[in-house]
């Protein structure tokens, strides 16, 4: 079965078939190769994961982020970021990083963040005299912070694969998200000083406290989520529903910019995004079944233990494998496919599943702005109307920061399981 699975999947990927369809077709052919009597099992394996209660949090968090990012609140968040760091060297690049960090606490989706923030900030940076390729590089790299800051969609998916607490993963993701943000802001600052990027005036940036109060409802969202989870007041799924209610109340009563058309658009975007994620989950569950039946995860784990032995070498192997896979597969699909193998291998060498979740998230997030199939890289490049090669040339210091953060969280467990 596994040979049919692998060959079919790679043929479909080379033919540019979407990952979700490739997973479903490859997994389906592998199962049916054992006879048509396996057809009922095929249907069961496809639809069983969609009944998972924790996964209900995904569409609600996507909806809450869409509601809050599509209105005036998004502009107020950008205004706060500009007032906070816009007047420093490389300030508009730093605005992108701060905006991504704050938006990450609202949307949980790097792709949504790259689209929403990039469409606002990349043209602004171009008008102020920033190189468009640099503006695209900042957006492509900083938008992945959404995969670490709660409510992170990738961490929710990892939690369902590894049976790890979503609340523990959310809390563990805060520090790497902030460290990545600080590192990227440092790159923008140094680039601004050495390359003479324009600096916006205090009048253009606005008053910090005035913008802070205007953006406070959005800034409070991730704190609100963590308090509810940490105090045990609500489950992650219940918190996601509360987040939608919060977004509706803030937009309708405080900012007074909620309309039927905007609500309908947010529901449409949520439906599309959720459908994509769920199809990937369905296909990955089918592929996971095939791999489990043939004991592939156990075989890989045993090979790593027998061949490498050292936890340090195994961690380096995990990182290398995740970085390569992340260059070619979407983040949810990679988590679902590699999760069972990595969790089993991590348990065998004593790696905490929470730490492993952060390692997986950071690795695959780097893949989002790495060619040849980096989603945020392509989105940012298209907005900036720059070739991929030009943006990648500007990305090398951002890669350096991301790899440094990755190594820290790989070999210093206290940073994730504090």
Domain extents in the chain: 4-51, 52-258+294-415
pLDDT value at position 202?
65
Chain segment 247-259, per-residue pLDDT in tens? 888 888 887 888 8
Two tokens at 328?
């070619």
Locus of tokens 């099992």: 41
Supply the DSSP symbol for 54.
Answer: G
> When comparing pLDDT for 157 and 2, which is higher?
157
- Collapsing DSSP to helix, strand or coil, 311 comes out as helix
Give the Cα separation of 355 and 351 in Å (integer): 7
Rg of the chain on CA atoms, in Å: 21
pLDDT value at position 90?
86
- Collapsing DSSP to helix, strand or coil, 308 comes out as coil
How does residue 118 score in pLDDT terms, banded at 50, 70 and 90? Answer: confident
> When comparing pLDDT for 264 and 294, which is higher?
264
Give the Cα separation of 129 and 398 in Å (integer): 20
pLDDT at 36 over 70: no
Average pLDDT over residues 219-234: 79
Chain segment 135-175, per-residue pLDDT in tens? 999 999 998 898 888 888 889 889 988 888 888 898 898 89
pTM value? Answer: 0.84
121 and 142 Cβ atoms separated by less than 8 Å:
no
34 and 51 Cβ atoms separated by less than 8 Å:
no
pLDDT value at position 141?
92
**Least confident piece of the model among 36-45, 113-122, 264-273, 295-304:** 295-304
Average pLDDT over residues 41-60: 80
How does residue 398 score in pLDDT terms, banded at 50, 70 and 90? Answer: very high
- Collapsing DSSP to helix, strand or coil, 230 comes out as helix
Average pLDDT over residues 98-114: 77
58 and 271 Cβ atoms separated by less than 8 Å:
no
91 and 199 Cβ atoms separated by less than 8 Å:
yes
Give the Cα separation of 417 and 26 in Å (integer): 37
- 23-37, 322-336, 352-366: which is most confident: 352-366
Phi, psi at 206, each rounded to 5°: 90, 175
83 and 211 Cβ atoms separated by less than 8 Å:
yes
Supply the DSSP symbol for 349.
Answer: T
Give the Cα separation of 315 and 411 in Å (integer): 8
Count of CB atoms situated within 10 Å of the CB of 281: 25
In sign, the C-alpha dihedral spanning 377, 378, 380, 384 is positive
> To the nearest whole number, what is the mean pLDDT of the chain?
83
pLDDT value at position 134?
93
């Amino acid at each position: 079965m596994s040979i049919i699975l692998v060959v079919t999947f790679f043929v479909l990927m080379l033919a540019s078939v979407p990952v979700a369809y490739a997973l479903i077709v490859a997994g389906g052919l592998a199962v049916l190769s054992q006879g048509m009597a396996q057809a009922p099992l095929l249907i069961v394996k496809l639809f069983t994961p969609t009944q998972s209660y924790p996964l209900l949090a995904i569409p609600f968090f996507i909806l809450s982020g869409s509601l809050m990012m599509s209105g005036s609140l998004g502009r107020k968040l950008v205004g706060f970021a500009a007032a906070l760091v816009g007047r420093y060297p490389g300030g508009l690049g730093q605005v992108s990083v701060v905006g991504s960090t704050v938006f990450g606490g609202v949307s949980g989706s790097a792709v949504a963040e790259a689209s929403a923030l990039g469409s606002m900030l990349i043209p602004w940076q171009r008008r102020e005299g920033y190189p468009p390729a640099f503006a695209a590089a900042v957006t492509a790299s900083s938008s992945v912070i959404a995969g670490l800051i709660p409510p992170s969609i990738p961490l929710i998916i990892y939690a369902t694969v590894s049976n790890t607490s979503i609340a523990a993963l959310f809390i563990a993701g805060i520090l790497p998200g902030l460290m990545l943000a600080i590192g990227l802001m440092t790159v923008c600052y140094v680039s601004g000083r050495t390359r003479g990027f324009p600096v916006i005036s205090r009048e253009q940036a606005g008053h910090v406290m005035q913008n802070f109060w205007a953006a406070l409802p959005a800034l409070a969202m991730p704190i609100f989520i963590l308090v509810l989870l940490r105090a045990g007041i609500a489950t992650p799924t219940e918190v996601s529903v509360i987040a939608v209610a919060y977004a509706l109340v803030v937009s309708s009563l405080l900012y007074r910019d909620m309309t039927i058309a905007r609500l309908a658009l947010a529901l449409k975007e949520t439906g599309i995004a959720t459908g994509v994620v769920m199809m990937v989950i369905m296909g990955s569950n089918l592929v996971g079944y095939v791999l489990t039946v043939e004991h592939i995860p156990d075989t890989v784990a045993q090979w790593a233990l027998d061949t490498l032995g050292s936890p340090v070498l195994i961690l380096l192997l995990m990182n290398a494998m995740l970085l390569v896979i992340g260059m070619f597969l979407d983040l949810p699909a990679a988590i679902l496919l590699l999760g069972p193998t990595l969790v089993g291998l991590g348990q065998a060498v004593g790696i905490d599943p929470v730490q492993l979740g952060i390692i997986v998230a950071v690795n695959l997030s780097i893949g989002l702005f790495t060619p040849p199939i980096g989603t945020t890289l392509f989105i940012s490049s298209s907005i900036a109307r720059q070739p991929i090669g030009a943006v990648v040339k500007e990305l090398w210091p951002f890669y350096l920061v991301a790899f440094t953060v990755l190594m820290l969280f790989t070999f210093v467990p206290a940073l994730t399981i504090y």
